[in-house]
Structure 1
Amino acid sequence: MSHSEPVTIYYLEMTAPEQLCGKPKPEGLDVIEAELKEFRFNRYLYQLVGEPWQWTDKLQLPDAEWQRYAERDALRTWVAYHRGTIAGYFELEQQADGDVQIAYFGLAPKFVGRGFGGYLLTQALQSAWQWGNTRRVRVHTCTLDHPGALNNYRARGMQVYRTEQE
């Protein structure tokens, strides 16, 4: 897709944990929270997972800004490992209004197309609902993202509530 084409941004939400249509755990895939916060790890995950999708906006940020972003109490990070190798990750961000935002979500390039995304998203949504008094889980994606992203969000039970053209 060339950058001359307009980009569509999709905003999705889930308003009750019962709406989750979970995917079972694939063999050898483990999702673990990175409980000790280390901004360099978040920066590495952002780079690893985001590279094919031009996630570049944050790569130029100085260490202090990365640290402020990644080491807050309102941000939690989970990493998927397949046989000891990082297969993907997600970050959850707790908002003041009872919303939890899936801030970043994705698979490492080697692991795209292996059926891991549905389970990783299931884990993201379950973790969001288990965090405090969550009343809504949100995410946004766009047409520059992996073509399967929007379908994965919808298949897990999320609904599009707004679209925008950029």
Structure 2
Amino acid sequence: MNKIKAKLLKYRVTYLEMSKVPSFDWPKVLKHKLSILKGENIPLWYFLFFYKQVGEKYYWTDWLNKSDKELHDFVNDENVLFYTLIKDGWPAGFFMLDYREKQTCNLSFLGLVEEAIGLGLGDYLLKTAILTAWDNNKIQKLTVNTCSLDHKRALHLYQKNGFTPIQFKNFEKLV
């Protein structure tokens, strides 16, 4: 009988925020045919598809342990917006904006599927998410967090686009 050995992962979460609208313009469409589509009445499988496709190699597991009701209540909350990046006709990434806290938007999720990484779409997607967050509602700040398990350029990309680290926490989990 095979025994599966659990691995202890230690990681650091960086919490960042942006307190004013950035000065950059909406990103220009690159050499790819791109669209950003706002979803409504998102089926749980669609959210979980992106969560797994984007997050599997970065150990995104927290939302896999939630009940269908918890998932549904978050994904389909009227103050949580889901956007899909379509590249050349196929879903290449997504982001979610959470406006449930007064005067704050949290960039809850942002990422690309494996086939879209390295094509220059990360900066495009992040800038679009940032400007969409500030454009859609009256907010005083935009927040996001990333961890040392995420893509190696994630923290740099957030800071390059105007986010400032405000807190760090160390965690560990068995995988």
Alignment match, 2:110: 105
- Equivalence for 1:32: 37
Residues in 2 aligned to 1:165 and 1:140: alpha-carbon distance in whole angstroms = 13
* Code of the aligned partner of 2:149: L
Match of 1:17 in 2: 21
TM-superposed deviation, 1:19: 4.7
**124-133 or 37-46: bigger deviation:** 37-46
Tell me the equivalent position of 1:120: 125
Shift of 1:25: 2.6
- Paired with 2:68 and 2:50, the residues of 1 have a C-alpha distance of 15
Distance 1:146 1:165 in 2: 17
Instruction: Tell me which amino acid in the other structure corresponds to 1:59.
Output: L
Q: Is the contact between residue 79 and residue 88 of structure 1 (CA under 8 Å) also seen in structure 2?
A: yes
Tell me the amino acid that sits aligned with residue 132 of structure 1.
N
Deviations 1:53-83 (A, max 9, x none): 1112212333222211211111100111111
In structure 1, list runs of 5 or more residues that go unmatched. none
Q: Match of 1:130, SS?
A: helix
Q: In the TM superposition, what is the alpha-carbon distance from 1:17 to its structure 2 partner?
A: 0.7
Q: CA deviation at 1:158?
A: 1.1
Give 1:50-65 correspondences, 5 Å limit: 50-65=55-70
Give the 4+ runs in structure 1 shifted more than 2 A.
3-6, 18-25, 35-40, 60-65
Percent identity between matched residues is 26
Structure 2 residues without counterparts, runs of 5 or longer: 1-6
Under a length normalisation based on structure 2, what TM-score does the superposition of the two structures give? 0.85
Distance (whole Å) between structure 1 residues aligned to residue 148 and residue 134 of structure 2: 27
Q: Which residue of 1 aligns with 2:155?
A: 150
Query: What is the CA-CA distance between 1:5 and the residue it aligns to?
Result: 6.4
Whole-Å separation in 1 of the counterparts to 2:58 and 2:76: 24
Matched residue type, 1:102: L
User: CA 1:51–1:5 in 2, change beyond 3 Å: closer, same or farther?
Assistant: closer
Change (3 A) 1:156 1:23: farther
Root mean square deviation of aligned Cα = 1.8
**C-alpha distance in 2, partners of 1:114/1:128?**
23
1:165 matched to which residue of 2?
A: 170
- Paired residues, number: 164
Q: Which residue of 1 aligns with 2:4?
A: none
**Partner residue of 1:48?**
53
